[in-house]
Amino acid sequence: MSFFFYDLTFLVIFGGFLAIFLWKKKEKLQREGILILYRTQLGIKVINYVGEKYKKILDVFGYFVIFVGYVLMLTMLGLLFQLLYLFWKFPEFVRAVKIPPIVPLIPYLPRIFKVDFLPPFYFTYWIIVLAIAAISHEFCHGIFARGKNVTIKSTGFAFLGPFTGAFVEPDENKVKKLKIRDQLTFLSAGTFANITMAVLFFFIMWLFFISMFTASGVIFNTYTFSIINKSNMKTTNESLFVDFNGGLNLTKVFVEEKPYYIENKNLNADFESITAYEDAPALKSGLAGVIVEFDRDKIRGNKDFINSLKEKAPGDEVVIKTLFNNSIREYNIKLAGRPDNQSQAYLGIALVRTGGLSILSRIRGRVLFFKDPNTYYQPKMAGNFVIFIYNLIWWIILVNFSVGLVNMLPLGIFDGGRVFYLTVLGLTKSEKAARKAYKFSTYFLLLIFLLLTFLWFVSIR
């Protein structure tokens, strides 16, 4: 039985437990705006201890916290405008991402939007990730506030429908009386905590990956292809179906007596030039999946595959084993000669990053530098459990980094909005100018998000 079933069961049990808890504690619940708050004294002793004991260290370290906050604000603004450009210029990027620009972090998000470039996001993940992100964020706010002798009135949990969060409640009157520099430190502290958690768990993920995974095959996502001119194309009646990437229905064509295969949907396409697959052994054999063995040679990565192929000659018959949908497939293939050098053996596979996903792939490739995108990795033991933990760590990093960035947007509802207001106030010494700048920034960014949503809707429909 899949973990999805157990996860849904856990969701129902947790939801029932939460409903009973809120009903029993209804007299202690308080409404503030659209939120329902449950105040406690949990963790206040820890916050007070750290904030008071390391007051001098926190004071000096505050300059770095503010600096990081400004860097994140500028980074997020840059990413936001880059995202706007991508949404405007490349609709295929939007169709590849699929997820709306404004969507709450909810369980099963990749499954809901049918996104295959993100790992599963179970309810179990959701609870753990939110706990780490929210508690570290709020506790760091509290510690830096206490470092400036601000009283921490309470901690607790906030509820907005099915969504939960944590909070630390300082004495807001005392916070507002702090120097601008101290307020900036307090406001940037939560974001700094999230980025710190992202960096910490990144190193944990790195160590976990190199300890628990091993290279076990070569990944390819297409066959070798060329761009041909339709005006020179001669169509035949010969067809071919390949069980690859959802299935390819192909027709054999000739261009200047050279054979190619093109997808049937492109036969009548109104384009002068189209993509055509080359008449290569991999395509004609229907090779699909991760290459794990090449003529009895175990393939761990691209280097192994290239070395094994170099030992062969055109015309050699080889047995290739692939991992496809968790089962092993075996292919008997006769190798051809390379189009540019007929003396070298040729199979005809390629790894190409196309469309909008190429941008996401490049970002992911740079971040996950310890993984080769051409290589398939398998857990060394307890496969499903190892993958479960790896994906959990991955989500912890992604969510903490995202929260750190988004929270520093100079937008009214985020800490970044208040940071922006105080920055303008400090530079101009005018509350009127600061309020105007704060309002303009908030409305301008809301307009950007509305435009992103509109472009998403137009591209995705």
**C-alpha dihedral (44, 48, 54, 57), degrees to nearest 10:** 70
What residues does 214 pair with on adjacent strands? 378
d(Cα 33, Cα 281) in Å, to the nearest integer?
65
d(Cα 29, Cα 43) in Å, to the nearest integer?
19
pLDDT digits (tens, 9 = 90+) for 260-270: 999 888 887 77
pLDDT band at 395 (very low <50, low <70, confident <90, very high): very high
Instruction: Return the minimum-mean-pLDDT range out of 83-92, 174-183, 447-456.
Output: 83-92
What's the token pair of residue 299?
Answer: 């393939």
Residues written for the chain: 461
* 74-170-143 Cα angle (round to 5): 65
**What letter does residue 2 receive in the DSSP assignment?**
-
**Is a pLDDT exceeding 50 seen at residue 356?**
no
pLDDT band at 355 (very low <50, low <70, confident <90, very high): very low
What's the token pair of residue 356?
Answer: 């909008």
Contact between 425 and 159 under an 8 Å Cβ cutoff? The reply is no
Residue type, 35: L
**Is a pLDDT exceeding 80 seen at residue 110?**
yes
pLDDT digits (tens, 9 = 90+) for 10-31: 999 988 988 898 899 888 888 8
In 3D space, the residue among 449, 233, 222 whose CA is nearest the CA of residue 357 turns out to be 222
Contact between 438 and 422 under an 8 Å Cβ cutoff? The reply is no
d(Cα 151, Cα 171) in Å, to the nearest integer?
6
Residue type, 432: K
Neighbours of 294 (CB within 10 A): 23
Q: What are phi and psi of 385, to 5 degrees?
A: -65, -40
Domain 222-350, architecture per CATH: Roll (2.30)
pLDDT digits (tens, 9 = 90+) for 53-107: 999 999 999 999 999 999 999 999 999 999 999 889 888 788 878 888 888 888 9
Q: Where are the domains of the chain?
A: 3-213+383-460, 222-350
pTM of the model: 0.85
